[in-house]
Amino acid sequence: MQLLEERIRKDGIVKPGNILKVDSFLNHQMDIPFINELGKEFKRRFADAPITKILTIEASGIGIACLVAQHFNVPVVFAKKAQSLNLDGEMYCTKVQSFTHKRVYDVILSKKFLSAEDHVLIIDDFLANGCALQGLMEIVKESGAVLEGAGIVVEKGFQNGGDSLREQGIRVESLAIVDSMTDDSVSFRKDEWDNK
């Protein structure tokens, strides 16, 4: 998506360890009209999917998911990291390895909010090795819902998460796929959607 690639080139910051910071507009400070444009684009790409619910994971996915959900007119459910005293009853539960925080955490979702009748679109800000996405997919599978696909804002194409999921037949739509990064430049994979 050209708008996003231009914004990453303008405001993204590359840090050692293949970290791409987009915290001035996406996941610390949030540019709301801009993220609404991303929502429109996800809707364009998943226009044919009968989505009933958007699933994401705390924390940085939630705001994006809420803005995206407006374009699908469906509720958001967000999976929570670690046990909370306020969460009781029946839970879907899985474990996720965090690339960013270098630890394993529990991910939980109340069974009340996802069932076999649902058609789920997973939304998240980043996809690198795909661990968070795999965790959310396990929850969807356990619920019996249909996974329609995953909508990702920024995919790190040089890590194997996205391509590995596509090889498994999962529909992964990333609005920008970073193929390589250096201190002063970011290269994107050609976007087949830009000519549609």
Return residues touching a copy of itself (CB under 8 A). Answer: 15, 19, 21, 23-24, 28-33, 35-36, 58-60, 62-67, 69-70, 73-78, 80, 84-88, 100-102, 109-110, 112-113
DSSP tag of 83:
-
Q: How far is the CB of 99 from a copy of itself (least distance, A)?
A: 9
Nearer of residues 49 and 62 to a copy of itself, judged by Cβ: 62
Q: What is the DSSP string of 92-134?
A: EEEEEEETTTTEEEEEEEEGGG--TT-EEEEEEEEESS-HHHH
Nearer of residues 29 and 160 to a copy of itself, judged by Cβ: 29
- Is residue 144 marked as binding? no
DSSP tag of 169:
T
Nearer of residues 113 and 158 to a copy of itself, judged by Cβ: 113
- Is residue 160 marked as binding? no
Q: How far is the CB of 71 from a copy of itself (least distance, A)?
A: 10
Tokens 């995919």 — which residue?
A: 155
- Is residue 27 marked as binding? yes
Q: How far is the CB of 100 from a copy of itself (least distance, A)?
A: 6
SS3 (DSSP) at 181: strand
CA 150/CA 130 separation, integer angstroms: 11
- Is residue 109 marked as binding? no
How far is the CA of 139 from the CAs of 24, 45, 158, 169, in angstroms? 31, 23, 26, 17
- Is residue 141 marked as binding? no
Q: How far is the CB of 98 from a copy of itself (least distance, A)?
A: 9
- Is residue 93 marked as binding? no
Nearer of residues 2 and 29 to a copy of itself, judged by Cβ: 29
Q: How far is the CB of 96 from a copy of itself (least distance, A)?
A: 15
Task: Give the containing element (helix H, strand E) for 152.
Answer: strand 146-156
Residue 185 phi/psi, 5-degree rounding, is: -155, 150
Task: Point out the annotated binding site for xanthine.
Answer: 20, 27, 156
